[in-house]
Amino acid sequence: MKTIGPYYISNNLFLAPMVGISDKPFREICALNGAGLTISEMLTCNSALWKNEKNLLKQARPLTASPQVIQIAGADPKMLSKAAQLNEGSGADAIDINMGCPAKTVLKKAAGSALLKDLKLVESILTSVVKSVSIPVTLKIRTGWSPEKRNGIEVAKIAQDCGIRLLTVHGRTKECRFKGKAEYDTIASIKQITDIPIIANGDIDSPHKAKSVLEYTKADGLMIGRAALGKPWIFEQISSFLNTGKLKLEPNIFLKQRIIESHLKNIHRFYGETKGVWFARKHAAGYLKDLPNSREFLKVFNRQVERCAQLDELKLYFENQESDEAIAA
């Protein structure tokens, strides 16, 4: 799969639209490290709320070569259609509809994975949104409401009939949230009965796992979520393994430092001094969690309230790591 509708994508490895994670800076760093497509954080279909700072930032377009995909969420077909039209008008290349989020705040509004309970509403939403725009509409779902009520196959049939151009399936039900292991049987079954591209999602955290999921499900691509936090180069590692059968090593300490510094500087620019420092803490913890003396470093790093101080601490940390490696050698 090299296209979504008329749009070219470099590979079939997608970054998941994770709330609070998949912002403009993170989408850009993942694209630079091999993600073929990145999707915005979930945006409410209530356009009256789009002018607040949080939702304005969600609509920021990353500087990537891949299509600009905006994910919208809600339960009202008319509001979702209007949201899709407004995003098309502001430059979106494709619209993704969220029917997979298991967060309680989303479920209270009967949106996200709550929609999987009502197949008539699913059909109404998809039909309405597809007809309202000229750009491709894609969909993200879970395998069903609960392990006893896996209706992902039915939803997939509806999606294809309504004109959805690509379907991503997370291998858990709403009830499972992120607990337990993802199952791929439902994804494999959906692939067998549909003609549209199917993207497998859930627990894909290594090149070997990526290959086994693709082989088992016969999916057209993969979506990577939590495994990319603190490890955006996982896309290049997976791509290399799928294309050559050889494992690509993690970046050396010098390259890791460059990637992390670049990402944190981008965060600082995007959010500004105060909030940039806050968001940088979360991503720094993801990057350094498996590195030596990271706990001690993060205690110091998280006390910093200025971006320059954060970057100075990061530089000092890596200088110490380089010194330790030199001594060990």
Report, as an integer, the average pLDDT of 9-18.
Answer: 96
pLDDT band at 324 (very low <50, low <70, confident <90, very high): low
Rounded distance between C-alpha atoms, residue 19 and residue 325, angstroms = 37
Q: Which residues are catalytic?
A: 101
Domains and CATH numbers, the chain: 3-244 (3.20.20.70), 253-328 (1.10.1200)
Taking the mean position of all CA atoms in its chain, how far away is CA 211? 19
Q: Residue 329 pLDDT > 90, yes or no?
A: no
Query: Which tokens hold the place of 44?
Result: 């409410």
**Which stretches within the chain are classed as H helix?**
24-32, 53-58, 77-89, 104-107, 119-132, 152-162, 185-193, 207-217, 234-244, 253-271, 273-288, 294-301, 307-328
Q: Is 291 exposed, middle or buried (0-12, 13-18, 19+ CB in 10 A)?
A: middle
pLDDT in tens, 181-236: 999 999 999 999 999 999 999 999 999 999 999 999 999 999 999 999 999 999 99
Query: Which tokens hold the place of 327?
Result: 């001594």
Rounded distance between C-alpha atoms, residue 274 and residue 288, angstroms = 22
Would you say 320 and 248 are in contact if contact means Cβ atoms under 8 Å apart? no
What is the enclosing helix (H) or strand (E) of 99? strand 94-99
pLDDT in tens, 260-275: 999 999 999 999 999 9
